[in-house]
Amino acid sequence: MSPPSTPLRLNPVQLTWVAALFFATIGNVVLWRTLWLEVEIDGLRSLSFFLSLPVFLFCIINLLLTPVVALPYVRKPLLATLVVISAGCSYFMLHYNVLIDRSMVQNFFETNQAEMASYFSLPLLLTILGLGILPAVVTIFLQTKPVGTPMRTLLWWLGNVLVTSVVLIAVTMAFYKDYASLLRNNGHIRDQFLPFNFVRNTNGYLKRRYSATSQPLRTVAEDATRPVPVAGARPKLVIAVVGETARAQNFQLNGYPRPTNPALSKRSDIISFSDVWSCGTATAISLPCMFSRMTRPQYDEVRAATEENLLDVLQRTGVEILWRNNNNGGCKGVCVRVANEDMPKMRIAEHCVNKDGTCYDEVLLHQLDARIDAMHGDALIVLHQLGSHGPTYFERYPAQARAFTPTCDSNQIQKCSSEALTNTYDNTLVYTDRMLANTIDLLQRYADWRDVAMIYLSDHGESLGERGMYLHGTPYMIAPDEQKKVPMLMWFSPAFSQHTGLDLACLRSHAASRTYSHDNFYHAMLGLFDVRSGVYERDLDLFAGCRTPSARPAG
């Protein structure tokens, strides 16, 4: 009778090797897909370089995991956590071709239940189960054994680090030019390298968030004033509609061949800006940036969170502010010091019919006239849309706005045909068009005693499968134009343009021929409300060149 077999037991260093082997192979399937596409094998040297990549990755991961596995008692839970999170990241990188950079980590931390639910699918569950939970369970139940005495344990760890470092240096030196070229020309690889992409970016996000919450609010434009209204002057009412995930390329008003603006295209008084660029490719960056005095090159999220924004300055000068939100991600801190309403929480039956708790954007107009009636001076109302937020585009519009068919009625958008996906996305724009037209109709009811205007500007665009990319959030430097070029529309009542000295023919000409960005919004709004301040920059005010001299605010 043979003796019972002894179960496999690994010491901590060997456990590190197993974990490093996992992450150097199937745990980084997306990274390997990129490497396979980027490394051209055309000879013995290039083949040798490619074969060195798993050795290189194993050594890097081994060294980086060593401090984790060296921790007694928590090494297995930490490894299991890294494996499960990596599986979730792998799914999104593999299916939507996104990168796990700091903005993507920020999106994750600042999302809500409804947005998270929109991504849930069987393939996601199977990926997390196969690449995450099962390996994590194996890790948890894998038996380990101590190396021996503390000195012997130390020698094992030192030997592991020394040998791994020597191998890593040898491989790097043998193919130095190849590695330098690969990393220099493919900077996005670091945001595909699991698990260290989300670990590094989560650490960065949490540090910056702590820095933002630990600093006092800095006042901006303390010198800001507005002229005292003359007797009989009509109050201004501006509605700024902040779009979500609308890309300029799909707007009929910008030359798109499909009727995605059926209502607004019938109006001769709509001004569409054809060349406008966002500050970021995700709401978490674009929205605070849009309302900040910083330009895109200057933008810093900690500074944006710790100093007053456009709404604060306007409110201090006497402009009444109201922010209405229908966006899953909220206002990203922009509206916290002004009157604000979260419309989905009101559960308006006619607009909030989706099972995930989201509402159609016309909820933003629900009883808005009553709020306007209570405003007596100059006012700015911001309507923050859910817009065209994916991947569940089909839930962003009611059946009446289903203008194009067939549609992609699934969150597995990568599996839909290009035609169906585009149809579904374009239907969201048709509904946005309807909502904007209704907003103008609402404003016109106040045109007899107020100077009224509407400005629409999206936060960022969207990828719909071009070059294998979906959704948004790609690092700005490598993001395609579809994620960065956004629509901007404006409408002004005749009295508004007359009393502000705004030449609409001039503005229409500039809209068709000049390039603008989110950088212009802050200063344009200061100019529109006649704010005098040292922070005002005329060169960034897109209205400045089309106002009569007497109507221009002093810097």
Q: Which domains does the chain have, with CATH numbers?
A: 9-211 (no CATH), 236-551 (3.40.720.10)
What's the burial of 141, exposed, middle or buried (CB within 10 Å: 0-12/13-18/19+)?
A: exposed
Residue 388 · residue 428 · CB < 8 Å: yes
Between CA 270 and CA 274, with CA 273 as vertex, the angle to 5 degrees is: 125
Gyration radius (Cα) of the chain, Å:
28
The CA distance from 474 to 103, in Å, is 9
| Global confidence as pTM | 0.87
Q: Which is nearest to 23 in space by CA: 50, 46, 56?
A: 56
Q: How far is CA 346 from the centre of its chain?
A: 26
* pLDDT computed for residue 549 by the predictor: 66
For residue 447, the one-letter residue type is A
For residue 99, the one-letter residue type is L
> How many CB atoms within 10 Å of residue 262?
15
Give the chain's end-to-end CA distance (angstroms, integer): 95
- Per the DSSP assignment, residues forming a β-bridge with 10 are 144
Q: What residues have CB less than 8 Å from 416, skipping those under 6 apart?
A: 408, 410, 424
Strand-strand pairing, 488-492 and 271-273: antiparallel
pLDDT under 50: residue ranges of the chain: 1-2
Residue 327 · residue 304 · CB < 8 Å: no
| Number of helices and strands in the chain (H, E) | 20, 13
Instruction: Dig out the tokens for 459 from the structure.
Output: 């936060």
Residue 286 · residue 387 · CB < 8 Å: no
Instruction: Dig out the tokens for 460 from the structure.
Output: 């960022």
- Per the DSSP assignment, residues forming a β-bridge with 464 are 470
DSSP string, 470-513: EES---TTT--HHHHB--EEEEE-HHHHHHTTB-HHHHHHHHHH
Residue indicated by tokens 């899953």? 328
The CA distance from 359 to 349, in Å, is 9
Residue indicated by tokens 């009929």? 252
Locate all alpha helices (DSSP H) within 273-417, ordered by sequence: 283-290, 301-306, 310-316, 368-373
* pLDDT computed for residue 1 by the predictor: 45
The CA distance from 267 to 284, in Å, is 33
Distances from the Cα of 178 to the Cα of 48, 183, 184, 478, angstroms: 11, 9, 10, 22
Q: Which is nearest to 304 in space by CA: 518, 472, 533, 31?
A: 518
The CA distance from 278 to 350, in Å, is 33
Instruction: Dig out the tokens for 474 from the structure.
Output: 């790609």
Question: Collapsing DSSP states into helix, strand and coil, what is residue 383?
Answer: strand
> How many CB atoms within 10 Å of residue 474?
25
- Per the DSSP assignment, residues forming a β-bridge with 457 are 242, 488
The CA distance from 193 to 57, in Å, is 9
* pLDDT computed for residue 177 by the predictor: 87
Burial call 225-239: b when 16+ CB within 10 Å, e when fewer: ebeeeeeeebbbbbb
Instruction: Dig out the tokens for 404 from the structure.
Output: 């194009």
Longest dimension (CA), the chain: 108
For residue 108, the one-letter residue type is F
Outline where DSSP puts E strands in 320-386: 320-325, 339-342, 379-384
